[in-house]
Structure 1
Amino acid sequence: MAVTLADVAARAGVSAATVSRVLNGNYPVAGSTKERVLRAVEDLDYVVNGHARALAASTSDLVGVLVNDVADPFFGLIASAVQGEISESDSPVGGKLAVVCNTGGSPEAELNYLTLLERQRAAGVVLTGGAVEGTEHTAAVAVRLARLAASGTRIVLCGRPPLTPLAEAVITVAFDNRGGAQRLTEHLLGLGHRRIGYVAGPAERTTTRHRLEGHRAALAAAGLGGSPEQQDRLTVHGYYDRSSGYDAALELLRREPGLTAVVAANDTVALGVCAALRDQGLRIPEDVSVAGFDDLPFSVDAVPALTTVRIPLQEAGARAGRLVMGRQAPPPGGVATVRTELMVRASTAAPRAVGTGGAA
């Protein structure tokens, strides 16, 4: 019986996609991994199917960039930076055509775009933003990415958690959402805030969960974790848009009239929170402090300037673009975590009672 690619993969202890990448030479592979694959090829006397190899190498000049919402500055900054690297014609490997695919946050649209990109034999795929949680969808995405990788497509996740089953075939540029959110809430606690509301994003998104986990970890460390019911009382979920922030702020004030601070899921949501507070006759930060996340370009120009957590979105997008083009070596283990930075501005201050020497 003829030796197959799967036999070589099993012998080398890697995925079939990794064996394909080594044999085709169309994707950076760690030296030690490459040696194991080549040794397995020699030990098993594996003969490469010339026709299949030529077919696998015949990817197009198209690179797909999947975003949740192309109108959202978060995704716009990433997509622009990715596209700049993909279209760079002066690079040693030349430029390719970047196609931005707007999923609208729909899991079905995400799967459909991946299928279409596979049919177009895309040279690369970059998936941005938080992933939809759930075993069924995650498994469906993994299947499509595995097929793409096996056909020679380079795959990079930017701002998404790693896909463990595809650790060798998919490179991840992850954001430290938990750490950033924890530092942000620690900042408010350090100012003296104890009644802090949280406006979260959609519950099914990994970004939402990770940022909420960081926020609650800071509260727990300060002895303010409370029961799950108490935590949920000061948490309102919505979309990552201004109107959700507005509505959520009103709901938080209804639940806790003594609220002294609000942490928003992102900067756009924070603008809605600020608008709602002003409409209720409250001043920022004198009556209620407000903080966001992402440090989008408008954050520093808001009135007052918004305290937030900075993610270097353009740098991360450019890195993802270089990785999907094969112009930068993959990070160790295939995962690079982008650190976040707390940006303290005028929208946060000590609660009035603390600022005047009173009790919190």
Structure 2
Amino acid sequence: MTVTLADVAARAGVSAATVSRVLNGNYPVATATRSRVLRAVEELEYVVNGPASSLAAASSDLVGVLVNDIADPFFGIIAGAVQDTIGPVTSVPAQGRKLAVICNTGGSPERELTYLTLLQRQRAAAVVLTGSGTDDPGHRAALAARLRRLAAGGVRVVLCGRPLPAEEHGGADGADPAAGTAPEVDGPRPRPVEVPLDNEGGARALTEHLLALGHRRIGHLAGPDHRSTTRHRLAGHRAAMTAAGLPPTPDHLLIHGTFHRDSGYAGALRLLDADPGLTAIAAANDTAALGVCAALRDRGLRVPQDVSVTGFDDLPFAADVAPGLTTVRLPLRETGQAAGRVALGAEVPEDGVVPPEPARVVARDSTAPPRG
């Protein structure tokens, strides 16, 4: 069902002429009225440049790439690979090139939805959502409906390193609770394409590596507890513990934090206070692992002689820190390239999923058998 100017006017409680004035900016409108109109536009996902169904016939050369934190090398590598794939400056002829627009959400679910609406209004040819998704049911429902609306309008939707939002959370008819209406699509609904990362398999292999060295008292610094990446990595860790016949990690040795250095530093100190005899710490990612190593140094402990440390992702600096960081190598650039090909329509998997490349453990000098 196409959202019209009249729908926006009804939601905002104003005339259609007032809505037009606000959107065109060609006539003064009271601040409170303008705010009501813009809120209604956002809630109804009104596409200023025409109905969403026309996007396929009049799309632009824009490809939106949504990242949680562009300053994080994890996202920078993926976004750079997408950009290089969709618009290489050396390509001849120029036809088929696309312009990547990097949208930094800061991890905000609300900002993520806003960017998707803005990209729809700009008639983007494709959107690529990278990184972890939130497990919040309300946001997953709104996101699923937003992505269906984009796909129904001809926008290629690519989920890079994150799962497809659960359809069942959006209601039987796929309604977006924030929009109040749902798109009506004749025939099969277009489906977003997933380009996954092997977070669960990588985490399982990493825990198996620590267990093979002889570690049993392992502190685990996990990512945010509401993020899909955290859930998948914890699932891999627990699967390895179960397969080895070991009990689950006790609550005092499992701490949730962010993927930043400061979180790794603070989390490591908490783990050491909870169990001074632990022999290994598995950090949420490579950046958090740097904070772990700094905390151990400040406590007078050596890596790996006293405590082994692992990261995740194998970011470029992991091989150059001292000691070299044992971590899981995710094929970030290759995954970004695959997402770019899907965004261009050059790769269309029949089942909607690009087979992931396996993650693998890169053993360096930050891990060793426990003393004694």
- Which residue of the other structure, out of 292, 295, 298, is the alignment partner of 1:276? 295
What SS does structure 2 have at the residue aligned with 1:352?
coil
CA distance in 2, matches of 1:137, 1:91: 41
Matches within 5 A, 1:267-346: 267-330=286-349, 332-346=351-365
C-alpha contact (below 8 Å) 2:60/2:123 kept by paired residues: yes
- Which residue of the other structure, out of 314, 326, 347, is the alignment partner of 2:366? 347
Amino acid at match of 1:147: R
C-alpha contact (below 8 Å) 1:173/1:338 kept by paired residues: no
Shift of 1:338: 3.0
C-alpha contact (below 8 Å) 2:53/2:153 kept by paired residues: no
CA distance 1:331–1:244, shift in 2 (3 Å):
farther
What SS does structure 1 have at the residue aligned with 2:143?
helix
Matches within 5 A, 1:16-27: none
Q: In structure 2, what is the equivalent of residue 261 of structure 1?
A: 280
CA distance in 2, matches of 1:60, 1:131: 27
Q: State the TM-score, normalized to the length of structure 1.
A: 0.80
Q: In structure 2, what is the equivalent of residue 103 of structure 1?
A: 105
Amino acid at match of 1:235: L
C-alpha contact (below 8 Å) 1:168/1:334 kept by paired residues: no
Shift of 1:96: 1.4
Amino acid at match of 1:322: R
C-alpha contact (below 8 Å) 2:53/2:152 kept by paired residues: no
- Which residue of the other structure, out of 146, 151, 154, is the alignment partner of 1:152? 154
CA distance 1:53–1:211, shift in 2 (3 Å):
closer
C-alpha contact (below 8 Å) 1:195/1:259 kept by paired residues: yes
Shift of 1:331: 5.3
Shift of 1:169: 1.3
What SS does structure 2 have at the residue aligned with 1:336?
coil
Within the alignment, does 1:75 sit opposite 2:94 as a pair?
A: no
Deviations, residues 283-331 of structure 1 (Å, cap 9, x unaligned): 0000000001000000000100000000010111011001101122325
C-alpha contact (below 8 Å) 1:191/1:349 kept by paired residues: yes
Q: State the TM-score, normalized to the length of structure 2.
A: 0.77
CA distance in 1, matches of 2:122, 2:135: 27
Structure 2 gap ranges (5+): 2-50, 168-173, 175-188
Q: In structure 2, what is the equivalent of residue 218 of structure 1?
A: 240
Shift of 1:231: 2.5
Within the alignment, does 1:141 sit opposite 2:160 as a pair?
A: no
Aligned residues: 301
Amino acid at match of 2:122: Q
Matches within 5 A, 1:39-118: 56-88=56-88, 89-90=91-92, 93-118=95-120
Shift of 1:168: 4.9
Amino acid at match of 2:371: R
Q: In structure 2, what is the equivalent of residue 195 of structure 1?
A: 217
Amino acid at match of 2:338: R
What SS does structure 2 have at the residue aligned with 1:131?
coil
C-alpha contact (below 8 Å) 1:107/1:137 kept by paired residues: yes
C-alpha contact (below 8 Å) 1:162/1:335 kept by paired residues: no
Q: In structure 1, what is the equivalent of residue 193 of structure 2?
A: 171
What SS does structure 2 have at the residue aligned with 1:282?
coil
CA distance in 2, matches of 1:132, 1:159: 13
